[in-house]
Structure 1
Amino acid sequence: MKRVLITNDDGIYAKGIEVLFFELRKEFEVIVVAPETEQSAVGHAITLINPLRLKKINRNGEFFGYAINGTPADCVKLAIKELVKEPLDLVVSGINLGANVGINVIYSGTVSAATEGTMMGVPSIAVSIDTFKDPDFRPAAKVARQIARMVIEKGLPDNTSLNVNVPAVPYEEIKGFAITKQGTSR
């Protein structure tokens, strides 16, 4: 079974990572390593001075994953270097609450976590849903699983991450995927 690391910048208790976890584990072995608290807009920051602490997290009486008192990039780096003993096939960061587009991508902990995975040699994608109000994360999670499967099967060009932004519509209304370049708008 293919192994997928998931993380985010909204924190381990965020609904988006929970929905992503349950969708991806239908097809993959999933390891969760995420920030203990919200880390939105931290960009690609890493922790240099303070020690990183790891905490096991249960949800509904079951082991869910590990929380780290650091940034999303810290989570990916620590997971790949120290926690996960077997090679990973993919890193998925998300599901972020709100789209990551234009110049805001630079500030995104979600996108930066995927970038860190790519820098460490693991194909990586960031997934965001284009809403802040009452999101249904399930369509974005289904899209994430589709794209995860494609990336694992076909790979990505070297030094390339995918930043996937999913509209806040029912899954059946999503008409397909388009690859674009990052915009510069704010």
Structure 2
Amino acid sequence: MTEKPWDHQVSLTDPRALRAYAHPTRMSLVGLLRMEGPFTATRAAELTGESVASCSYHLRILAKYGLVEEADPGGPGREKPWRATAAFTEWPNYSPDPAVASAADALNAAVAENQFHRLMRALETRHNLPEQWQRAERHTDVMLYLTPEELTALGERFDAMVEEFADRAYDPALRPEGARRVAYLQVAYVAPDRAADTERPGEEA
């Protein structure tokens, strides 16, 4: 059984922490530790393809901002195991502080880019999946007209449904036969206005 982080989530509000976490290797290390940790910098190098020295450096940076910690403080050098401190990471969707807002936007962009690359890798190999998995996968979108309150409520409903399956990540005994790791993305944003949306039919711009 993979060790479950004891905290539900870690919150990042320091601009330096937000920018530190935006590094793709660090995001990858935190994700791997949550799913497969604890592990050492040597094992991290095997999983990421980075050097041991690079992984050790990035793990120390993550520890500085409370995202990971030593699982065995007495462990020797690079062979000491690391673990994630929480199951999820959150950061502000909005901040009146320009420094925080800018760093959060940069992190959002880094996360979106990382998710895009992961999605493209999955699409490149999905033809190898059994038919039932190919049919079960979802690639769809829809335009909705919502108020901020409605969008918040919709997200909370999705969160509640996803939470039903969250413990399976940490306890394989809870996974039914045939279960596989699935990346389920929730993305909702206000679509930029287009001039055509405000033009009346037959009217030239």
TM-score, normalized by the shorter chain, greater than 0.5:
no
| Greater share of strand | 1
| Greater share of helix | 2
TM-score (norm 1): 0.30
